Amino acid sequence: MSYVGVDWAGSCWVVVAIGDEITVSTEPSILNVWTAYEADAASILVDVPIGLPEDGDWACDRAAAHLLESRSSSVFSIPCRAAVTAETYEEARDACGGSLGSQSWWLFPRINEVDAFLRTIDDARKIVYESHPEVCFAAYDGGALPSKGDEDGLRARVAVLEGLNERLATKVGKIVDERRDGTEWHDRISSSRRDDVVDAAVLAVTAERLELGERTPEQAYPSLPDGDYSGPGESGTDPALEMPMEIVFPGRDPGRSDE
What share of the chain in percent tops pLDDT 70?
86
Confidence of residue 256 (pLDDT cuts 50, 70, 90): very low
C-alpha span between 33 and 223 (Å, rounded):
23
Q: Higher confidence at residue 160 or residue 247?
A: 160
Confidence of residue 61 (pLDDT cuts 50, 70, 90): low
Predicted TM-score (pTM) of this structure: 0.89
158-189 burial by CB neighbour count: b if 16+ within 10 A, else e?
Answer: bebbbebbeebbebbbebbeebeeebeeeeeb
**For the ranges 89-98, 162-171, 237-246, which has the lowest average pLDDT?**
237-246
Going by C-alpha positions, the residue among 255, 218, 234, 176 that lies closest to residue 58 is 234
Mean pLDDT of the chain: 86
Statement: residue 259 has pLDDT above 60: no
Going by C-alpha positions, the residue among 250, 62, 249, 45 that lies closest to residue 130 is 45
- In 10 A of CB 211, how many CB atoms? 12
| pLDDT at residue 45, as a whole number | 98
Domain boundaries, the chain: 2-248
**175 and 16 in contact (C-beta within 8 Å)?**
no
Statement: residue 95 has pLDDT above 80: yes
| pLDDT at residue 252, as a whole number | 66
C-alpha span between 21 and 30 (Å, rounded):
21
Residue 3 makes CB contacts below 8 A (sequence gap 6+) with: 17, 18, 19, 41, 42, 43, 45, 204, 205, 207, 208, 212
C-alpha span between 164 and 158 (Å, rounded):
10
C-alpha span between 179 and 234 (Å, rounded):
41
Statement: residue 52 has pLDDT above 60: yes
C-alpha span between 80 and 61 (Å, rounded):
13
The segment with the largest mean pLDDT, out of 66-70, 138-142, 169-173, 217-221, is 169-173
**26 and 189 in contact (C-beta within 8 Å)?**
yes
Q: Kindly tell me the burial class for residue 247, based on how many C-beta atoms sit within 10 Å of its own C-beta (0-12, 13-18, 19 or more).
A: buried
What share of the chain in percent tops pLDDT 90?
54
Confidence of residue 74 (pLDDT cuts 50, 70, 90): low
Convert the pLDDT of each residue in 134-169 to its tens digit: 999 999 998 878 888 889 999 999 999 999 999 999
Statement: residue 209 has pLDDT above 80: yes
Q: Higher confidence at residue 59 or residue 7?
A: 7
Convert the pLDDT of each residue in 97-106 to its tens digit: 888 888 788 8
**For the ranges 23-32, 130-139, 159-168, 250-259, which has the lowest average pLDDT?**
250-259
Q: Higher confidence at residue 243 or residue 128?
A: 128
